[in-house]
């Protein structure tokens, strides 16, 4: 059993070993809320940075004197670097303390956004986005492991959920706000604001994140060896298939809703409800993840499959609207539960799990968009929902098959 720096045995929980750290509460088991909020705020800005060009496509296109399709490639290039770089970077950065790594990556994010804000030509913007993708690949391979390392035993899942709330907030607030700012006063100001925020969060991370030795010193298995183990490969396969099933219809959810008879104004309202339901799902996942991460993931996957079947077979009226809201709730739980299950699968090398999840998620996002685009050429939008349901059903089968070979969760008989 790994030891703590004070010579006492390390505490363990359902998600693996936990490194002792100062807490901001009154009891020994309180979550270090200040640390986790800073990390969540950094995640908020990182996700906003990633998706911001989507909302600002026309104005960036005009500013760089290029086509909207070429600006869209800035998002694809960013995602490509994330897919290719997450695992190799995770294998490298375990040699340094997480605080050093996170601060360096946040400054890299800031540099990427600053270059983007001042880019006078398309190729400069492309370099900026490639640099941002590199920062993203490293950051999301470290930030959740850092959250787990400072959380007390038995509350590590809640730490993941709190940090993951930055993603939900970015999609619900950050991207619309950045789009509004960029449209009103100029897209360069939106990226400049993200650059400034990243510098601030780098400073705050340096101040609040506890000093810990490099993860490589306490890991029982190297990252590159851990990513080849059957449990983590199984978690990666589930993540790819599940996110592929989600993003195949969700990338084109607006045409799906319009096909179901929802008005243009109604689409915005339904998607707002989807986002609100996702936040509720995030809260629920935080409540169950420390005791039942695997069963929670199975339930969320089953609910996703059911919702997509309804949207594929009976998307009109109240059933379709309720299905979208329930779908939002289910997806809100998934990032936390997937991270938790992956961390259980890589308990001997916890920095490997976020890197694998980061890679798998981006493969699913890119693959879902591509698959949906191709399928729309030959079918109607409800067909995308049925394809998504088939894929998430496969993910559920993989989860149930894998569960037979795993130890019982906390509270299971």
Domain coordinates in residue numbering, the chain: 32-218, 223-402
Prediction pTM value: 0.78
Task: State how far the Cα of 310 lies from the Cα of 313, in Å rounded to an integer.
Answer: 5
pLDDT at 58: 84
Q: Is 58 helix (H, G, I), strand (E, B) or coil?
A: helix
pLDDT at 409: 56
Number of H helices, E strands in the chain: 18, 2
pLDDT at 18: 41
Are 312 and 389 contacting, i.e. CB atoms less than 8 angstroms apart?
yes
pLDDT at 390: 97
Tokens encoding 387: 């394809």
Determine the straight-line distance between the first and last CA of the chain, rounded to whole angstroms: 25
Dihedral of CA atoms 145, 327, 369, 367 in degrees, nearest 10, equals 50
Tell me the pLDDT tens digit for each residue of 151-183: 888 888 889 989 988 988 887 788 778 888 888
pLDDT at 201: 97
Among residues 369, 67, 10, 365, which one has the least CA distance to residue 219?
10
Same fold, 32-218 and 223-402: yes
| CATH class of residue range 223-402 | mainly alpha
pLDDT at 219: 61
Q: Is 282 helix (H, G, I), strand (E, B) or coil?
A: helix
- Given phi > 0 = left and psi -120 to 50 = alpha, else beta, which region is 150? alpha
Where does 32-218 sit in CATH, by number? 1.20.1250.20
Task: State how far the Cα of 380 lies from the Cα of 18, in Å rounded to an integer.
Answer: 49
Task: State how far the Cα of 174 lies from the Cα of 137, in Å rounded to an integer.
Answer: 20
Neighbours of 412 (CB within 10 A): 10
- Distances in Å between the Cα of 17 and the Cα atoms of 140, 161, 193, 341 are 19, 17, 37, 14
Are 136 and 184 contacting, i.e. CB atoms less than 8 angstroms apart?
no
Q: Residue 50, Cα to own-chain centre: how many angstroms?
A: 11
- Distances in Å between the Cα of 366 and the Cα atoms of 72, 176, 273 are 13, 21, 25
Task: State how far the Cα of 260 lies from the Cα of 312, in Å rounded to an integer.
Answer: 10
Phi, psi angles (nearest 5°) of residue 154: 85, -5
pLDDT at 183: 85
Q: Which residues of the chain have pLDDT under 50?
A: 1-14, 16-28, 404-405, 407, 410-413
Name beta bridge partners: 352.
Answer: none
Contacts of 284 (CB under 8 A, 6+ apart): 329, 332, 333
Task: State how far the Cα of 44 lies from the Cα of 46, in Å rounded to an integer.
Answer: 6
Neighbours of 220 (CB within 10 A): 13
Helix 33-55 / helix 57-64 crossing angle, nearest 10 deg: 60
- Distances in Å between the Cα of 30 and the Cα atoms of 82, 283, 340, 406 are 33, 18, 19, 29
Tell me the pLDDT tens digit for each residue of 393-409: 999 999 998 764 454 55
Dihedral of CA atoms 288, 289, 295, 297 in degrees, nearest 10, equals 120
């Amino acid at each position: 059993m790994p030891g703590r720096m004070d010579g006492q045995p390390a505490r363990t929980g359902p998600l693996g070993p936990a490194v002792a750290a100062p807490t901001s509460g009154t009891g020994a088991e309180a979550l270090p809320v200040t640390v986790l909020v800073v990390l969540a705020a950094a995640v908020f800005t990182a996700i906003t940075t990633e998706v911001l060009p989507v909302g600002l496509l026309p104005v960036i296109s005009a500013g760089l004197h290029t086509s909207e399709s070429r600006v869209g490639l800035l998002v694809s290039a960013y995602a490509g670097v994330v897919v290719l770089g997450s695992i190799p970077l995770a294998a490298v950065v375990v040699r340094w303390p997480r605080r050093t790594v996170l601060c360096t990556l946040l400054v890299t994010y800031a540099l990427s956004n600053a270059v983007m804000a001042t880019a006078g030509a398309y190729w400069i913007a492309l370099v900026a986005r490639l640099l941002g993708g590199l920062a993203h690949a490293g950051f999301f391979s470290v930030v959740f492991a850092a959250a787990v390392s400072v959380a007390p035993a038995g509350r590590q899942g809640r730490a993941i959920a709190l940090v993951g709330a930055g993603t939900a907030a970015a999609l619900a607030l950050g991207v619309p706000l950045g789009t509004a700012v960029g449209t009103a006063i100029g897209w360069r100001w939106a990226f400049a604001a993200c650059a400034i925020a990243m510098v601030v969060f780098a400073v705050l991370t340096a101040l609040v994140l506890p000093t810990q030795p490099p993860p490589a010193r306490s890991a029982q298995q190297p990252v590159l060896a851990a990513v080849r183990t059957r449990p983590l490969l199984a978690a990666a396969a589930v993540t790819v298939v599940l996110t592929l099933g989600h993003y195949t219809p969700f990338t084109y959810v607006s045409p799906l809703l319009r096909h179901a008879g929802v008005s243009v104004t109604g689409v915005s309202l339904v998607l707002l409800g989807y986002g609100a339901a996702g936040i509720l799902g995030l809260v629920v996942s935080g409540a169950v993840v420390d005791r039942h991460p695997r069963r929670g993931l199975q339930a969320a996957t089953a609910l996703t499959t059911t919702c997509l079947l309804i949207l594929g077979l009976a998307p009109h009226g109240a059933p379709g609207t309720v299905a979208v809201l329930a779908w939002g709730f289910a997806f809100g739980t998934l990032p936390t539960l997937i991270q938790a299950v992956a961390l259980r699968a890589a308990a001997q090398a916890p920095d490997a799990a976020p890197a694998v999840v980061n890679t798998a998620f981006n493969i699913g996002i890119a693959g879902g968009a591509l698959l949906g685009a191709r399928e729309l050429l030959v079918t109607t939008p409800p067909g995308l929902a049925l394809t998504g349901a088939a894929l998430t059903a496969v993910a559920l089968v993989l989860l149930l098959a894998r569960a037979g070979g795993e130890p019982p969760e906390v509270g299971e008989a």
